[in-house]
């Protein structure tokens, strides 16, 4: 959904753009001197002199993303954040022009902003999805210009080009072709029902909750009775091996009880058989009571 600035904001943006375009570009040696003064001495005047002429670079990059429907002023503002990040990390000793270094940071911050605000549904959560989001339109236009329409073969070509699954291409194509819609919107002008009325509630209903609570209490009662039929040693092993938050190993339990690990295993097996028999008996009786 497109976001449109009010006329006052639009005029302010135009004034900023005109002012940025008038700033003269820096000579290489002067640019390097400013970068050194900022990096080594924290000279804020040098920082200002370094980044101001590159505002036009921010505007140029931001303009390439206008078709995502977000205000150009917001894109420029985010790009300026990237410009400042570039300035804080720029190393003049590498003999690279600041504009070359800053381009990546400006583009990255603008893209991150678009992914956060383009839709209320989070898009492009991985590097591959981010690449797909920002390249799908370009690749689709290229293929459609060649064939006239994006076919399944074209989608497979895009998936191979970007090294992403075909399903991701199809899903992203659907996301880019649609807009966010409120679930409170009425289905038709004549009716009162909203789209959210047709969403299935997958939570258990009150009857299921009550039945589950009853069954849980019943099973707890059966287990308590079954444990009561065990010897003290069997009950201790079952509790520590199966009912404790942190189960004890056979070896540790053997040391505690003064018996071998194998003996603990034998007692555990015998106790488990008793429990299964007791619980099975309860289940048979409970089933017989209802049929």
Confidence of residue 163 (pLDDT cuts 50, 70, 90): confident
What percent of the chain has pLDDT above 90? 24
Task: Pick the most confident of 123-127, 150-154, 193-197, 277-281.
Answer: 277-281
User: Could you tell me if 131 and 84 lie in one domain?
Assistant: no
| CATH number of the structural domain spanning residue 272 | 1.10.10.10
Domain count, the chain: 3
User: Could you tell me if 231 and 277 lie in one domain?
Assistant: yes
Is 121 a residue whose pLDDT tops 60? no
User: Could you tell me if 109 and 127 lie in one domain?
Assistant: no
Bigger pLDDT: 146 or 271? 271
Task: Pick the most confident of 108-117, 157-166, 216-225.
Answer: 108-117
Model pLDDT, residue 70: 85
What tens digit of pLDDT does each residue of 10-41 get? 788 788 888 888 888 889 999 999 999 999 99
User: Could you tell me if 114 and 125 lie in one domain?
Assistant: no
Confidence of residue 103 (pLDDT cuts 50, 70, 90): very high
Model pLDDT, residue 200: 63
Confidence of residue 8 (pLDDT cuts 50, 70, 90): confident
Is 192 a residue whose pLDDT tops 80? no
Model pLDDT, residue 199: 62
User: Could you tell me if 190 and 211 lie in one domain?
Assistant: no
User: Could you tell me if 182 and 248 lie in one domain?
Assistant: no
The mean of the pLDDT values for the chain is 79
Bigger pLDDT: 59 or 173? 59
User: Could you tell me if 189 and 259 lie in one domain?
Assistant: no
Confidence of residue 1 (pLDDT cuts 50, 70, 90): very low
CB 211 within 8 A of CB 218: no
What tens digit of pLDDT does each residue of 195-242 get? 566 666 666 666 666 566 667 777 788 888 888 888 888 988 888 888
Token output for 108 = 């990255």
Model pLDDT, residue 78: 93
User: Could you tell me if 230 and 182 lie in one domain?
Assistant: no
Q: What is the mean pLDDT of residues 233-260?
A: 85
User: Could you tell me if 72 and 163 lie in one domain?
Assistant: no
> Which of 65, 83, 118 represents a domain boundary (last residue)?
118
> Which of 68, 90, 118 represents a domain boundary (last residue)?
118
> Which of 199, 220, 237 represents a domain boundary (last residue)?
199
User: Could you tell me if 109 and 125 lie in one domain?
Assistant: no
pTM of the model: 0.51
User: Could you tell me if 8 and 84 lie in one domain?
Assistant: yes
What tens digit of pLDDT does each residue of 51-64 get? 999 999 999 999 98
Judged on CB neighbours under 10 Å (0-12, 13-18, 19+), 79 is: buried
User: Could you tell me if 114 and 126 lie in one domain?
Assistant: no
Expressed as residue numbers, the domain containing 41 is 1-118
Please tell me the distance from the alpha carbon of residue 167 to that of residue 152, in angstroms, as a whole number.
11
| Residue owning tokens 């008038």 | 22
């Amino acid at each position: 959904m497109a976001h449109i600035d009010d006329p006052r904001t639009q005029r302010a943006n135009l004034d900023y753009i005109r002012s940025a375009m008038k700033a003269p570009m820096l000579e290489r040696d002067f640019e390097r001197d400013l970068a050194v003064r900022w990096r080594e001495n924290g000279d804020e005047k040098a920082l200002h002199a370094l980044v101001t002429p590159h505002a036009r670079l921010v505007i140029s990059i931001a303009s390439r993303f206008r078709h995502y429907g977000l205000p150009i002023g917001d894109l420029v503002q985010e790009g300026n954040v990237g410009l400042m990040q570039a300035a804080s990390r720029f190393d003049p000793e590498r003999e690279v022009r600041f504009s070359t270094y800053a381009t990546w940071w400006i583009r990255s911050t603008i893209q991150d902003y678009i992914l956060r605000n383009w839709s209320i549904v989070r898009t492009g959560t991985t590097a591959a999805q981010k690449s797909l989001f920002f390249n799908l339109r370009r690749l689709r236009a290229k293929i459609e210009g060649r064939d006239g329409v994006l076919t399944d073969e074209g989608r497979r070509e895009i998936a191979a080009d970007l090294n992403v699954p075909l399903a991701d291409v199809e899903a992203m194509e659907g996301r880019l072709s649609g807009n966010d819609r409120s679930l409170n919107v009425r289905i038709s002008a004549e009716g009162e029902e909203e789209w959210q009325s047709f969403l299935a509630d997958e939570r258990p209903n009150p009857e299921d909750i009550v039945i589950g609570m009853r069954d849980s209490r019943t099973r707890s009662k059966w287990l308590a009775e079954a444990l009561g039929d065990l010897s003290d040693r069997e009950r201790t092993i079952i509790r520590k091996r199966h009912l404790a938050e942190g189960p004890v190993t056979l070896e540790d339990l053997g040391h505690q009880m003064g018996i071998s690990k194998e003996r603990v295993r034998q007692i555990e097996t015998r106790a488990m058989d008793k429990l299964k028999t007791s619980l099975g008996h309860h289940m048979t009786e409970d089933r017989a009571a209802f049929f």
